[in-house]
Amino acid sequence: MDATADELAGVVDLFGGLSRDELERALSEAAFRADGSSIDEHALSEAIDDGLESFTLLECPAERVTTDETALDPETTFLVSGPAAFPTVPEYAEDVPHILDIDRRRFDRGVLGRAARERFTDAVEAALDGETDDDRLRDLLEVSYDIETWGPVELSDERAHIEEGLD
């Protein structure tokens, strides 16, 4: 089972957020239910990285999660559906929350917005430092509007820096 970034966002959205290991387990269950197959761990890792780069997924530390679970490891980082996501639940994944028995997690949108802003600022700085091309800057410019709509943050200064870099 090869999942797109939006399908990964759909799966994590079923739970509110999942660790990488939990996401792998969830997709393994869905793949098994679909046709008895398994997932390619390397392909999944690449899909997660692509989702993070495109802001389809966002990482959030355990300290920022609200849940009834009392034993959350403070070192855990959760993946949540990000500001550029169009979450799509893959076929055969809709029952995975019942199979894994993980309580739904709730994240404060303001906290997630600040995390998205931090990640966005880092991505803009990397792009402006010449680590990427103009296409990446254009993508970031578009994502800036998604982030502002998604979380209560203002990114006009960052957009101005991007526009300067494109000139």
> Which CATH number belongs to the domain containing residue 46 in this structure?
1.10.10.10
pLDDT tens digit sequence for 15-47: 999 999 999 999 999 888 877 777 888 989 999
Of the three residues 67, 83, 107, the one that is the final residue of a domain is 107
Residue 16 is part of which domain span? 5-107
Q: With contact defined as beta carbons under 8 Å apart, do 92 and 33 qualify? A: yes
pLDDT of res. 121: 97
Same domain, 29 and 101: yes
Q: Under a CB-based contact definition with an 8 Å cutoff, are residues 32 and 38 in contact?
A: yes
Q: Residues 78, 22: one domain?
A: yes
pLDDT of 104 > 80? The answer is yes
- Return the amino acid letter for 8: L
pTM strictly above 0.85: yes
Helix, strand or coil, per DSSP, at residue 27: helix
Same domain, 48 and 116: no
